[in-house]
Amino acid sequence: MFDFSGEIMPTAKSLAELAFSAEHLPRNPGMALDLGEVLPVRVNRSAVQARTASLAARRSIKREWQAAWLLKALTCIDLTTLSGDDTPGKVQRLCAKARQPLRADLAAALGAQGLTVGAVCVYHNMVAEAVAGLAGTRIPVAAVSTGFPAGQTPMETKLREIELSVAAGAGEIDIVISRQHVLTGNWQALYDEMKAFRAACGEAHVKAILATGELGTLRNVARASMVCMMAGADFIKTSTGKEAVNATLPVSLTMVRCIRHYHEMTGVHVGYKPAGGISTAKDAINYLVLIKEELGRRWLEPDLFRFGASSLLTDIERQLEHFVTGRYSATFRHAMA
């Protein structure tokens, strides 16, 4: 069995155990809104682009090292279905795939029996179905909420939607912020909104979706990231997956640098979730490397890092089959759910 750093791991531990072996971290309690830490934020776009371009230009990770990093990526996937044609049967199939993301023969060959994804993400109407489908596992259900994806619903409705999803068994809530607060520079309103969402979540962890493709500038992305963390977000997340532009490496670098700064300020760990447009194993490794280099090893556990994805799992499984057998299989042989 291989560690994702490329070192041989003790065979006594399964990957599933290792995925949950990190020490428990306290939630982000938030802090008072400090505009002195928000308004001076500047982002050097050229430097950001140069830094992220260097990731793709490096020599690719190969052989057992690639397989190990891809196994780590599997444990960090929020396996997602957010479609108008979602049905109970579709969600049940998704949960079955979440329980066993790799074919049994591949898992056995890689010493990865018991490996699971990080979470299953659904609309509120499918939360109870997903909770039932994951019964007996440690896989949480994440519900998108607060008028996802546009966020253009009354505040009372947003809060009630959160409360209903938590009551139905969701352990994580992916909220969408009101983009107008960012675009008009109303940071107090964004802070108050995020605080209210955090309170409505209760014990459920809250991921703040910034919808970065609609915020206009990287400076807005950075400022919104800081405000949401100050208001108590447990994760900050790039996108709904429904915008014209979703997760990108430049946006991710901007957001994880904010996470690093917040940690330096407070000592608190805040998680990160890129979502939308991440569909290949190579993409996944680039994001993992970025997180490892910018935030450190601890952020490569599913309690601090997730991919919002569905088709990503198919390509990862194909690459792992190639590692085991030396042959590439057709995509249709690896149905996501």
pLDDT band at 309 (very low <50, low <70, confident <90, very high): confident
Supply the pLDDT for residue 56: 77
Give the pair of three-digit tokens for residue 152.
């253009």
Sign of CA dihedral 42, 45, 51, 52: positive
Supply the pLDDT for residue 2: 38
- Size (the chain), residues: 337
Annotated catalytic residue, options 72, 97, 158, 174: 174
Annotated catalytic residue, options 72, 273, 292, 303: 273
Is position 174 annotated as part of the catalytic site?
yes
CB 120 within 8 A of CB 98: yes
Q: What is the pLDDT of residues 117-139, one digit of tens each?
A: 999 999 999 999 999 999 999 99
Q: Which residue type is seen at 11?
A: T
E-strand stretches of the chain: 77-80, 119-122, 141-144, 172-176, 205-209, 235-237, 271-273, 307-309
Sheet holding 172-176, edge to edge: 271-273, 235-237, 205-209, 172-176, 141-144, 119-122, 77-80, 307-309
Distance CA 331, CA 75 (A): 21
Distance CA 172, CA 241 (A): 17
How high is the mean pLDDT of the chain? 91
CB 127 within 8 A of CB 143: yes
What 3-state DSSP class applies to 298? Answer: helix
Distance CA 272, CA 199 (A): 20
User: Which helix (H) or strand (E) covers residue 206, if one does?
Assistant: strand 205-209
Is position 237 annotated as part of the catalytic site?
yes
Which is higher by pLDDT, 67 or 327? Answer: 67
CATH for 62-333? 3.20.20.70
The DSSP secondary-structure symbol of 157 reads: H
pLDDT band at 336 (very low <50, low <70, confident <90, very high): low
Annotated catalytic residue, options 237, 283, 292, 315: 237
Q: Which residue type is seen at 18?
A: L
Q: What is the pLDDT of residues 250-277, one digit of tens each?
A: 999 999 999 999 999 999 999 999 999 9
Q: Rounded to 5 degrees, what are φ and ψ at 141?
A: -100, 130
Is position 13 annotated as part of the catalytic site?
no
Lowest model confidence (mean pLDDT) among 15-29, 190-204, 231-245, 315-329: 15-29
Supply the pLDDT for residue 332: 65
Distance CA 90, CA 171 (A): 20
Q: Which residue type is seen at 281?
A: A
Which pTM value belongs to this model? 0.91
Give the pair of three-digit tokens for residue 187.
């940071």
Q: Kindly report the CA angle at 205 between 248 and 20, in degrees rounded to 5?
A: 85
Supply the pLDDT for residue 1: 36
Mean pLDDT of 78-101: 96
Mean pLDDT of 49-70: 88
